[in-house]
Amino acid sequence: MHAMLLRQPAAYSSNMSPLEMSEVTTPTPGNGEVLVRVSVCGVCRTDLDIVEGHVAAPRYPVIPGHQVIGRVADVGSGVSGFREGDRVGIAWINSACGHCRWCRTAKENLCPQFRSTGCDVDGGYAEYAVVPAAFAHAIPDALADAEAAPLLCAGAIGWRSLRLAGLSDGERLGLAGFGASAHLVLQLARHRYPASPVYVFARNPEERAFALELGAAWAGDTSDAPPEQLDAVIDTTPVWKPIVDVLPRLAPGGRLVINAIRKSSTDQNELLRLDYAAHLWMEREIKSVANVTREDVRQTLAAAAEIGLRPTVEMLPLQLANQALARLSGATRLRGAMVLDVAVR
């Protein structure tokens, strides 16, 4: 099968394309696994972190990609929930142990044996991928492949962030950054909390305009002051500056939820601006989001089908995976999410 293979991590530059189109052996499903013929795979900033080595894979080469939509091509022994031809999705959570204290308390995202698609195991930048059947997701008929793909990570991590924000209807929500995840969080929040205004902080004027199109009550730069204090803010950026900028915008008892697998070291001096009285006093809270659970993914897909949520996507062929990730690494601004068409031509 064809796959975009990462042999060794490397940063994107004008003469460097770390992913290599390769011919590799098609995997075989083992006991309890299904083989998925991939249709599309969403492009995520975490894919960029893996390719550039900021998030290390346990072995190389590895095939990235964890927003995978396709159809079951084969089933291993012991599989009863899926059959050939079923449309399924593969998310970031590829497996967890199922018996540790985290798995037993609906926190499998924190499992010490958590394994991630496209990092710990090969992912969806390929014609085929294997996943334990218990961690595959049936895709609602209401969603097209390209619409469903970003929901498996950008949507699910946004859904989890929204839940951790502890918002009550009518409370004010802020979003720092407005990429693939935030543009979905905004729409989910407007449905789930119809009386809650959403305020968006984004550096790029085009992103701010997009946020207003989707129903934001206000949009400004991260250093701008919104018209009122916020009860919760979800940060989806890879840098520290928005954290320090938005903390003073929180009302007493406000919550900041950081939805990022890592923060860049290039602007760590921003943390020197952190001031206890200005940023944390008055019982303000900071939480991080780590991975997702299968239930997060299921609830996101169900909510999207119910409310007619349709991610804004840009389709690119699999061969342009390097260009897609290079755009994420640079200053190029995106409208929604990018999705790779894995039908190799």
For 263-308, the DSSP string reads --STTGGGGGG--IIIIITTT-EEEE-----HHHHHHHHHHHHHHT
3 state SS of 12: coil
Beta strand pairing status for 250-258 and 230-235? parallel
Cβ contacts of residue 53 below 8 Å, gap of 6+? 9, 10, 11
Instruction: Pinpoint the residues of the chain covered by CATH 3.40.50.720.
Output: 156-288
Peptide bond into 132 cis (omega under 30): no
Residue type present at position 47: D
Contacts of 153 (CB under 8 A, 6+ apart): 42, 44, 46, 66, 67, 91, 92, 181, 292
Compute the distance between CA of residue 228 and CA of residue 250 in angstroms, rounded to an integer.
Answer: 9
Confidence at residue 344, expressed as pLDDT on a 0 to 100 scale: 60
Residue ranges, CATH 3.90.180.10, the chain: 2-153+292-341
* β 68-75/33-43 pair status: antiparallel
Contacts of 213 (CB under 8 A, 6+ apart): none
Among candidates 68, 340, 312, 90, which has minimal Cα distance to 187? 312
Amino acid of residue 309:
L
Q: What is the CA radius of gyration of the chain?
A: 20
Closest CA to 276 of 247, 298, 296, 251: 247
Which alpha helices (DSSP H) does 98-257 contain, by range?
101-104, 145-148, 154-164, 180-192, 205-213, 241-246
Q: What is the DSSP letter of 165?
A: T
CB atoms within 10 A of CB 264: 14
Give the three-class secondary structure for 140: coil
Options 3.90.180.10, 3.30.160.110, 3.30.70.2740, 2.60.40.790; CATH for 2-153+292-341 is 3.90.180.10
Which pLDDT value is given to residue 333? 65
At which residue do the structure tokens 């004027």 appear? 205
> Which burial class, exposed, middle or buried, applies to 286 when counting CB atoms under 10 A from its CB (0-12, 13-18, 19+)?
middle
Of the candidates 39, 42, 327, the residue with the CA atom closest to the CA atom of residue 181: 42
CATH 3.40.50.720 fits 156-288, yes or no: yes
Report yes or no: 286 and 235 within 8 Å, Cβ to Cβ.
no
Q: Could you read off the pLDDT tens digit of each residue along the chain, which spans 345 residues?
A: 999 999 999 988 766 789 999 999 999 999 999 999 999 999 999 999 999 999 999 999 999 999 999 999 999 999 988 999 999 999 999 999 999 999 999 999 999 999 999 999 999 999 999 999 999 999 999 999 999 999 999 999 999 999 999 999 999 999 999 988 999 999 999 999 999 999 999 988 999 999 999 999 999 999 999 999 999 999 999 889 999 999 999 999 999 999 988 887 777 788 778 888 888 899 999 999 999 999 999 999 999 999 999 999 999 999 999 999 998 887 566 788 999 999 865
| CA 181 from centroid of its chain's CA atoms | 6
What does the DSSP 8-state code read for residue 239?
A: S
CB 221 within 8 A of CB 203: yes
